[in-house]
Homo-oligomer: A and B are copies of this chain.
Amino acid sequence: MPLSEFELIDRYLSRLGARRDDVLLGVGDDAALVRPPAGLELALAADTIVEGIHFPASLSPEDIGHRVLAVNLSDMAAMGAEPAWALLTLTLPRAEPEWLRGFSGGLHELARRCGVQVVGGDTTAGPLTATVAIAGFVPPGQALRRTGARPGDEVWVSGTPGDAAAGLAALTGRLEAPAEVIEALVRRFTRPEPRVPLGLVLRGVATACIDVSDGLAGDLGKLCAASGVAARVDSTCLPRSAALRSAVDPEAARRFVLTGGDDYELLFTLPPGTDAAPLERGAGVALTRIGTMAAGYGLTLDGDALDRDALHGFDHFG
C-alpha cells in the first residue's frame, strides 16, 4: 500500500539535519518558526534540481539528496554565509520507501555535518524534482558579492574544477579510463563538496566571489560583468587533478577545467599580494591563482579573447 503524504513526511523527512537551538518549531505546522540572531544579515537562496536536466536518472537517491542540499550550500559559501535553516520541497512520481530512505539519508548526512536543520517544506506528486531554499547568517556588510573585483586583483579558484564534468561524462558512457580514475571523477560529480569553510575565511578578504556551477570561464565572465572588469587567465596555472590528467589528453583537460560545470568550487578575487596560505589552511582545500583582473571587459586566455564563440566550441565534450 502506498504511503500517504503524511506518513512519508513523518517517516523520512521530518527530522533531517542538525538540531538547532534557534529552531522554535520545525516540520509539522503551516510554517516553521526560527529565531534570527541579533545584528546579523540573512543570506537567502533557492535552487532546484530536475531529473534528466541536472542529473542522470541513474543517480542514486543518496546522491540526489546530497546534491540538492550541496548546490544550495554552495550559494551560501559563495556569499560567505554560515548556513542555518533549509526548506525542502520534493516532487516525486511515486512514494517508494527505499528511495526515500536513501534520499533523506544523503541529505541528512550533509545537513548535519554543515549544521543545517531542515525546518519545513512540501511533498507533492509529479516528475522528480527537488528544491531547497536556504538561509544563512552574515555579519553586516561582510557578504561576498560578485561586484567588488578591481583591476589588479588576483583571480583564484578552489579545488580542481572540471573533474565533475569529466565524472558525468564517465557516468553517462562518454569517457573511458581505468576504474580507479573513473571512480575518483564520478565521485566529484556525485558528491560535490560545498566550500562553506572557504566562504567563511574569505569574508573581509576576498573582493568578489562566485561559485563555479556553470563552468569556470562562464562563471568568471559573470563575475567580471558584475564587477565591471576584465580577467586575464593563464592556462598554465589552471589546476588539473591527477585523475583528470590521466583520463584525457591535455587539451581535453583544459576544456573540462574551463567549461565543465557542477564542481561547486569557489572562484574569487584577492587584493594583489594577499597571503593565501592561511586561507587555504582555514578552508581545507587547495587554492590556485589562475590570473589577474584588469581594466576593461571580457576574458582572455594566454592573451587570446575567450569570447562566446570560443566558449561555445568548448561545449562539445569529447
Q: A interface vs B, CB < 8 Å?
A: 24-25, 28-36, 38, 40-50, 52-54, 74-76, 78-79, 81, 85, 87-89, 91, 119-122, 124-127, 129, 131, 133, 135-136, 138, 143, 145-147, 209-211, 226
With contact pairs A120-B45, A126-B127, A131-B48 given, residues A30 and B210 touching in the complex (Cβ less than 8 Å): yes
Please give, as numbers and ranges, the residues of chain B lying within 8 Å of A33 by CB-CB distance. 41-44, 79, 138, 143
Residues of chain B lying within 8 A (CB to CB) of residue A79: 29-31, 33
B-side contacts of A76, CB under 8 Å: 31
A133 pairs with B46, CB closer than 8 A = yes
Neighbour of A89 across the interface among B52, B125, B131, CB < 8 A: B131
CB distance from A104 to the nearest CB of B (A): 17
Nearest CB in chain B: distance from A307 CB, A: 16
Of B35, B120, B145, which contacts A46 at CB under 8 A?
Answer: B120
Task: Kindly report which residue of chain B lies nearest to residue A78, judged by CB atoms.
Answer: B30
Q: Main SS of the interface on chain A?
A: strand
Also in contact, A125 and B32, with CB within 8 A (given A38-B38, A44-B119, A133-B87):
no
* 30 CB < 8 A contacts A-B: A25-B143, A30-B75, A30-B79, A30-B210, A31-B76, A31-B81, A32-B44, A33-B42, A33-B79, A33-B143, A34-B42, A35-B41, A36-B40, A38-B38, A44-B85, A44-B119, A44-B120, A46-B89, A46-B121, A46-B133, A47-B122, A48-B91, A50-B125, A50-B126, A87-B133, A89-B131, A91-B129, A122-B131, A131-B133, A133-B133
A30 to chain B: closest CB distance in Å? 4
A78 touching B31, Cβ below 8 Å: yes
Q: How far is the CB of A34 from chain B (nearest CB, A)?
A: 5
Q: Which 9 A/B pairs are nearest by Cβ-Cβ distance?
A: A133-B133, A30-B78, A50-B126, A31-B45, A46-B87, A36-B36, A31-B43, A127-B127, A31-B79
> In whole angstroms, what is the CA distance A79 to B136 when docked?
22
Q: State the CA gap A74–B30 with chains docked (Å).
A: 9
